[in-house]
Amino acid sequence: MKYIKLLLLVTFAIILAACGAAPTATETAPIPTVIADDTIISEGRLEPVHFTELALNANGLISEVLKSEGETVVAGDVIARLESSEAQTLEAAQAKAVQELTSSYQEVRDAQFKLDNFDVPSDFAGMNPSEAVKATLTKLDKARADFEPYKDINDRNLELTDAQKRGNEVVTGTAKIFKKALDDAWAKYRKAIQWLELESASQNANSGLILAQRDYDALQDPTFSEDTAGTRAALANAEVRAPFPGMITNLNLKVGEFAASGQPVVTIADTSNWVVKTTDLTEIDVVNIKEGQPVTVKFDALPNVEFKGNVLSIGENFTENQGDVVYEVTILLTDKDAAMRWGMTAVVTFE
């Protein structure tokens, strides 16, 4: 019996020892650190660095088309001519500009002569014409208010007896004083208005001279600079001229066809440099873009070539693209290729 109890105690001790034994440690591999990829990638389209659409400034029939699509032009080149009673050539516009400039100089001289010979009243000393008008108007308003109670005095006198009329002599005398003051106020106000009109005529003549000189200079500009191209196009509207050097990428003019003013008919592009404009850069990404930031560009049509560039500008306004707020970023390419064509799709990686 004792033997059985001893055996049970030993067995129980072994069980307790087994239950309390520490588990064997297992080795685990370390978890690698994941580095987030903050590269920004966007889609875009290729454009010339500078382009413009030209429209006619008069209605008429196309009489000449001197250039063709794909042809290069320099500033001032005539692309097409128009037949219209409303339009004039550059030579006709230049001749008219000479006449208008001469007339403008004469108008300035005449207006200044009248202003210089205007007899400015001593009451206007220290004032300019505008100040004189304001001051005399104030006095005129006061004189009108002072005379208001007496303006019908003569009509009322007709209904009075002789005795009553003699009693109103003081009132009548006062009315005459206020009437004279009112007449004097009107005279000075008209004088101030006359002075202001003369000064205004002089200012208008000088403004006209400035415009006439601008038109003359634009039409006579031998370099056909882009700064004066708009004025030339408006005045010499029988011709379509290139405003800057470039290539004609679209030409919608044919001899004998009627052309309406205001409709774009020619597109000229400066393809000496190219830009890519993004189409899907969201508000989340655009805040991490900076002007001058380097980028790499790949075109779908040129998959084996990588082009370099820099951020030229970041759009201030937004558009919506499939529910996202997107901003246009313009990249100026430092590399170019003869195979580049306007409108090619691109993938832009911001470095």
Residue 18: the pLDDT is 52
Residue 173: the pLDDT is 74
| DSSP 8-state class, residue 282 | B
Residue 7: the pLDDT is 42
- pLDDT classification of 34: cutoffs 50, 70, 90: low
Q: How far apart are the first and last CA of the chain?
A: 88
Domain ranges within the chain, ordered by starting residue: 40-49+271-350, 105-215
Name which of 339, 322, 326 is nearest 278 in CA terms.
Answer: 326
Residue 85: the pLDDT is 86
Tell me the pLDDT of the chain averaged across its residues. Answer: 87
Name which of 37, 36, 43, 42 is nearest 285 in CA terms.
Answer: 42
pLDDT in tens, 235-261: 999 999 999 999 999 999 999 999 999
Q: Is the confidence at residue 278, as pLDDT, over 50?
A: yes
- The residue ranking higher by pLDDT, 53 or 29, is 53
Residue 321: the pLDDT is 87
> What is the distance between the alpha carbons of residues 76 and 225, in angstroms, rounded to a whole number?
8
Residue 162: the pLDDT is 54
Q: Is the confidence at residue 169, as pLDDT, over 70?
A: no
Instruction: Return the number of other C-beta atoms located less than 10 Å from residue 301's C-beta.
Output: 14
Q: Is the confidence at residue 19, as pLDDT, over 60?
A: no
Residue 165: the pLDDT is 53
Distance from CA of residue 212 to its chain's centroid?
Answer: 24
CATH number of 40-49+271-350: 2.40.30.170
- The residue ranking higher by pLDDT, 186 or 6, is 186
Are 287 and 326 in contact, with CB atoms under 8 Å apart? no
> What is the distance between the alpha carbons of residues 181 and 185, in angstroms, rounded to a whole number?
6
Residue 33: the pLDDT is 59
Q: Is the confidence at residue 20, as pLDDT, over 60?
A: no
Amino acid at 46: L
Bridge partners, residue 60, by sequence: 259
Q: Is the confidence at residue 61, as pLDDT, over 50?
A: yes
Q: Is the confidence at residue 1, as pLDDT, over 50?
A: no
Distance from CA of residue 329 to its chain's centroid?
Answer: 20
Name which of 246, 283, 280 is nearest 266 in CA terms.
Answer: 246
Residue 13: the pLDDT is 47
pLDDT in tens, 181-240: 999 999 999 999 999 999 999 999 999 999 999 999 999 999 999 999 999 999 999 999
